[in-house]
């Protein structure tokens, strides 16, 4: 694959700080509801319903959106996408909080998931128009979302004993932060990269001569050009040809980037939602007041590992992306054996493995997208950054499907062995 094009010139320190802050907030807020919903999975559906049910509702809409978005998302200006994803999040969280049926709650989860998927592909593509620090900031923010979301849910519901409903209601207001980060904090895009790539979110982009390019100018220019440059195909043959071109652009991304990232996510979400609810000891052998606290604590430790590794690319780089994939699948084997046969002596060894699992997941994520940004031709980079994001959601969907059977089977195995802790709260 061709080397990436030249990076934009260095930016002043004040603007660099604004860039880092804006993309860190994008990553944090975009992922935090996803994490909080997964942390609340046991509370939303109870101990007898597989937590993979919540996971599927929390990832399937995002996955479907990421699959189909490369065919049309360029027609939607970035600022319009911001309004869409905020609206989806707010409505989804309101349904989770104010409805009682599991079906209605899962529909609310699905709306919040669609918002997260649109946000991820939007902000990853947006990094193309800014210096490399924005990718590091977004990745660190997504890692921070895991830590902030899981820790806050643990603190509010387990330590402070606030109700699940109040905790989720307060969390549902967080997406409003997008407006300030995008319309006030984010500096103008890099005009040179926008002109070189030919797009800024909606269609061919032409910077204004001798003027500072603003986000509003870019979106307005792009929208006005959309009808001419990305018009609706005149026939089904044209539509089919366009789809084939998009698939052709996807093909070189699959083996080096998308497959290893998908394998990592398959492994870690089999652990998180399929195996971890069964990684229990007698209550008097664990530092928890209730069995449900173990599930929330495991999630927090996992997210701590993700945050550290997603923020570590300045110090550690992984260029062989299949290495964390293989190690993550090895973790699946070890923790499955732990669930069945109790090969580790106490819960603290399990906690250490869960933390290590998070480290591997974060390393795979940030290094995948850094390699995409470094190795993809500049004219393909915006598309590639959004398209590769399909692989993590695809991996989670596969894991959730497996977990629908795996968690119940492991719990049944433990009950037959005289360890019924997985059915207790």
Rg (CA), the chain: 22
pLDDT at 11: 60
CATH topology of domain 13-187+232-423: Growth Hormone; Chain: A; (1.20.1250)
Instruction: List Cβ neighbours of 135 (8 Å cut-off, separation of 6 or more).
Output: 23, 127, 366, 369, 370, 373
Q: b vs e for 228-260, b when ≥16 Cβ sit within 10 Å of the residue's Cβ?
A: eebeeeeeeeeeeeeeeeeeeebeebeebbbbb
What DSSP element (H or E) covers 18? helix 13-39
Give the global pTM.
Answer: 0.74
Encoded tokens for 92? 């989804």
3-state SS, residue 383: helix
pLDDT at 45: 80
pLDDT at 190: 59
Count of CB atoms situated within 10 Å of the CB of 306? 31
d(CA 302, CA 325) in angstroms, rounded, equals 16
Instruction: List Cβ neighbours of 374 (8 Å cut-off, separation of 6 or more).
Output: 3, 4
- pLDDT tens for 194-228 read 444 444 443 332 333 333 444 444 444 334 433 33
Which residues of the chain are modeled with pLDDT < 50? 1-9, 192-233
């Amino acid at each position: 694959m061709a080397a990436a094009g030249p990076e934009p010139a260095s930016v002043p320190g004040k603007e660099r700080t604004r860039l880092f802050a804006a993309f860190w907030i994008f990553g944090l807020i975009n992922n935090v509801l996803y994490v909080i919903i997964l942390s609340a999975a046991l509370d939303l559906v109870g101990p007898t319903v597989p937590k993979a049910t919540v996971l599927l509702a929390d990832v399937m809409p995002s996955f479907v959106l990421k699959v189909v978005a490369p065919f049309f998302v360029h027609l939607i200006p970035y600022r319009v996408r911001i309004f869409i994803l905020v609206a989806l999040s707010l409505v989804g969280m309101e349904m989770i909080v104010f409805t009682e049926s599991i079906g209605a709650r899962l529909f609310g989860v699905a709306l919040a998931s669609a918002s997260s998927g649109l946000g991820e592909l939007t902000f990853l593509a947006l990094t193309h128009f800014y210096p490399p620090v924005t990718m590091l900031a977004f990745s660190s923010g997504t890692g921070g979302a895991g830590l902030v979301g899981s820790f806050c849910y643990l603190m509010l519901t387990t330590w402070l004993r606030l109700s699940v409903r109040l905790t989720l209601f307060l969390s549902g207001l967080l997406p409003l932060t997008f407006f300030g980060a995008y319309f006030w904090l984010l500096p103008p895009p890099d005009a040179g990269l926008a002109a070189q790539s030919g797009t800024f979110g909606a269609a061919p982009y032409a910077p204004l001569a001798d003027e500072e390019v603003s986000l509003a100018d870019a979106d307005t220019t792009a929208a006005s050009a959309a009808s001419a440059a990305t018009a609706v195909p005149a026939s089904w043959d044209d539509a089919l040809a366009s789809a084939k071109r998009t698939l052709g652009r996807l093909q070189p991304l699959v083996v080096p980037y998308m497959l290893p990232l998908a394998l990592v996510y398959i492994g870690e979400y089999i652990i998180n939602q399929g195996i971890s609810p069964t990684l229990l000891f007698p209550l008097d052998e664990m530092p928890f007041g209730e069995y449900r606290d173990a599930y929330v604590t495991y999630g927090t430790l996992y997210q701590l590992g993700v945050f550290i590794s997603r923020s570590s690319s300045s110090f550690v780089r992984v260029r062989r992306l299949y290495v964390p994939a293989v190690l993550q699948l090895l973790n699946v084997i070890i923790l499955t054996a732990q669930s069945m046969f109790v090969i580790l002596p106490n819960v603290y060894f399990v906690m250490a493995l869960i933390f290590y699992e998070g480290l591997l997941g974060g390393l795979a994520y940030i290094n995948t997208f850094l390699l995409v940004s470094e190795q993809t031709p500049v004219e393909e980079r915006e598309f590639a950054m959004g398209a590769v994001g399909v692989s993590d959601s695809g991996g989670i969907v596969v894991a959730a499907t497996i977990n629908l059977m795996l968690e119940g089977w492991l719990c049944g195995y433990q009950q037959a062995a005289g360890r019924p802790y997985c059915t207790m709260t």
